C-alpha cells in the first residue's frame, strides 16, 4: 500500500555507483520536487557505473553527472543522516551502516532487497538485461511505497 512521500529521503547501497543512484534518479524523475532526495554508499570507491547510466537513460533519467559519495563523505559535507525523514537501504551492508550511524536519531530506515547486477552476466546485452532487472525492481518498490509516479516514466 502506497504511503505519503516523506520530505527527505536518502537511498543507500554499497558503493553509490549502481542501485542508490538509480533510485535517486528515479525518485526525482517520478515524483519531482515532492522530496529532497540524495544517495550514498558505505564506500565511494567506484564511479557511477556506465551500465546504470545506460539503462536509466532509456527512461530519460540522467545519471552521467552523478558523483559517488560515502556516508562519511556526505556527513563531512554537512548532510547529517539524522536530518532525513527516511533512509532506504538497498543492500544489507548499507542497512547495517545506516542503523549504526542513526542509532541515536529518530528516523525510519527501510530495507528494499534489490539485486546487485554487477558481475552477473557476460556480453553487453546480457549485462544490460541484468541492470534493467535491477532498475525495474527499484521501480516496483518505489511505486508500491510512494504511489503512481507524478512525473513522466
pTM confidence score: 0.90
pLDDT in tens, 37-65: 999 999 877 789 999 999 999 999 999 98
Domains of the chain and CATH, by start: 9-145 (3.40.50.2300)
Is 30 in contact with 2 (CB distance < 8 Å)? no
Name the maximum alpha-carbon separation found in the chain: 46
CA 82 centroid distance within chain: 17
Average pLDDT over residues 98-103: 79
Beta bridge partners of 87: 10, 109
Q: Measured between alpha carbons, how far is 103 from 147 in angstroms, rounded to an integer?
A: 29
Exposure letters 109-140 (e unless 16+ CB within 10 A, then b): bebbebbebbeebeeeeebbebbbbbbebbbe
Residue 120 pLDDT level (bands cut at 50, 70, 90): confident
Q: Across the chain, what does the average pLDDT equal?
A: 88
Give the mean model confidence (pLDDT) for residues 102-127: 85
Confidence at 26, pLDDT banded by 50, 70, 90: very high
pLDDT of residue 153: 57
Which pLDDT score, from 0 to 100, does residue 152 have?
Answer: 60
pLDDT surpassing 70 at residue 71: yes
- Other C-beta atoms closer than 10 Å to the C-beta of 99 total 13
Amino acid at each position: 500500500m502506497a504511503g505519503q512521500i516523506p520530505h527527505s529521503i536518502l537511498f543507500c547501497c554499497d558503493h553509490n555507483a549502481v542501485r542508490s543512484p538509480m533510485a535517486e534518479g528515479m525518485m526525482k524523475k517520478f515524483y519531482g520536487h515532492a522530496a529532497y532526495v540524495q544517495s550514498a554508499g558505505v564506500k565511494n570507491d567506484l564511479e557511477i557505473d556506465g551500465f546504470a547510466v545506460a539503462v536509466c537513460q532509456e527512461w530519460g533519467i540522467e545519471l552521467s553527472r552523478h558523483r559517488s559519495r560515502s556516508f562519511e563523505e556526505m556527513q563531512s559535507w554537512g548532510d547529517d543522516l539524522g536530518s532525513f525523514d527516511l533512509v532506504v537501504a538497498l543492500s544489507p551492508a548499507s542497512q547495517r551502516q545506516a542503523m549504526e550511524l542513526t542509532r541515536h536519531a529518530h528516523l525510519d530506515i527501510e530495507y528494499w532487497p534489490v539485486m546487485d547486477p554487477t558481475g552477473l552476466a557476460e556480453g553487453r546485452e546480457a549485462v544490460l538485461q541484468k541492470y534493467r532487472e535491477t532498475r525495474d525492481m527499484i521501480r516496483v518498490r518505489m511505486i508500491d511505497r510512494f504511489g503512481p509516479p507524478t512525473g513522466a516514466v
